[in-house]
Chains A and B, each alone.
Chain A
Amino acid sequence: MSFLDYFLGTRKKTASVAKDRLKLILAHERSDGTPDFLPALQAELMAVISKYIPVEKEQISVHMERRGDFEVLELNVLFPDQR
């Protein structure tokens, strides 16, 4: 950036924009919202469970969350109404 640019304020410091964006995205990706294997795990669980119980895909949900020092894998299966 030249001296004149500085006074005219014609250029923004794009490097600091890059740094701020990276800070956010890296923090988010490191805290790992969804590990890569969750969709596959959900599909395989679905296949096994539906062998024995008639359930729909929407009735199975798999979540992973961090609680303090450990991670919790939560599996939720909603059984169909028995009529």
Chain B
Amino acid sequence: MAQTIVVTSGKGGVGKTTTSAAFASGLALRGHRTVVIDFDVGLRNLDLVMGCERRVVYDFINVIHGEARLQQALIRDRTLDNLYILPTSQTRDKEALSAEGVARVMAELQQEFDYIVCDSPAGIETGALRALYHADAAIVVTNPEVSSVRDSDRILGILAARSKRAEEGREPVQEHLLLTRYSPKRVQEGEMLSLEDVKELLRVPLLGVIPESPVILQASNQGIPAIHMKGSDVAQAYEDTVARFLGEERPLRFVQQEKSSFFKRLFGG
């Protein structure tokens, strides 16, 4: 039986798709059969971030509407042969995601995979609700910034009330906080909420911290999931995040500012 993980946030632009791509790739690197699904109907982007945009023929919505079989829509990852991408439609609207249709596809994927990663759209409308409905675990992607923290709190409330687990009165969705675009330097300068602050505000266990880094843009420019950017801080931070999700103990890295020179400390910068 597969485990279903939703990557969600409420707010847009915080790193949901980047995280979905990196996290799903990380699970596959660990040998798990993994599928990552784009729920952002009308604004598909997971295919670009995964670098498979030119191989999309059929999509999630085609499968829901019976216009294609699941096997026809699943795209095998460029580098990992146990990772598949289920892209979404660029042309339809979010209402095309019928609850029954999504449930049918999820049931079919359950048979084939160990992990199903659902990349949620921003907002709290149909697409986001469908993405979180089947979740066993949720990764709430949050930036250390007021609007992102507030929206994350909102989405945590929705997870607790509107998921299938909540409706059926089963054990609640396992919640994980992933702090992204974190800048230890700015935290130390008192300009950015610290990871302790965000943990205290949201009261959700911290799964990982991804540092602010130019590598993220370099990765998406090329359609390479950030976890493959060998030797970079973000790749290592995502590897740690996946390891922790799988139950390993890993100390937090990249959360302390590197020591700066005497002159820098004196004059700022």
Contacts and interface: CB of A to CB of B under 8 A. Distances in A.
A30 B265 contact: no
B150 A4 contact: no
Judged by DSSP, the binding face of A is helix
Judged by DSSP, the binding face of B is helix
A4 B154 CA distance: 40
B265 A19 contact: no
A1 B201 contact: no
Contacts of B145: 18
B266 A22 contact: no
Interface in A7-21: 11, 13-16, 18-19, 21
B197 interface: yes
Contacts of B187: 15
Contact of B146 (A13, A18, A29): A18
A19 B190 CA distance: 11
A3 B192 CA distance: 18
A67 interface: no
Given A18-B146, A23-B201, A4 B266 contact: yes
B153 A14 contact: no
A1 B265 CA distance: 8
B169 interface: no
Given A2-B265, A30-B157, A21 B146 contact: yes
Nearest to A14: B191
Contact of B190 (A3, A15, A26, A30): A15
A5 interface: yes
B88 interface: no
A25 interface: yes
Interface string B147-181: 00110011001000000000000000000000000
B194 interface: yes
A2 B267 contact: yes
Contacts of B201: 19, 22-23, 26
A15 B265 contact: no
B231 interface: no
Given A15-B193, A16-B190, A19-B201, A25 B150 contact: yes
Interface of A: 1-5, 11, 13-16, 18-19, 21-23, 25-26, 29-30
Sort A-B residue pairs by CB-CB distance and give the 10 closest, nearest first. A2-B268, A13-B190, A1-B189, A19-B197, A15-B190, A3-B266, A18-B146, A26-B153, A15-B193, A22-B201
30 contacts: A1-B189, A2-B265, A2-B267, A2-B268, A2-B269, A3-B265, A3-B266, A4-B267, A4-B268, A11-B189, A11-B190, A13-B190, A13-B191, A14-B191, A15-B187, A15-B190, A15-B191, A15-B194, A19-B197, A19-B201, A21-B146, A22-B146, A22-B149, A25-B150, A26-B153, A26-B201, A29-B150, A29-B153, A30-B153, A30-B157
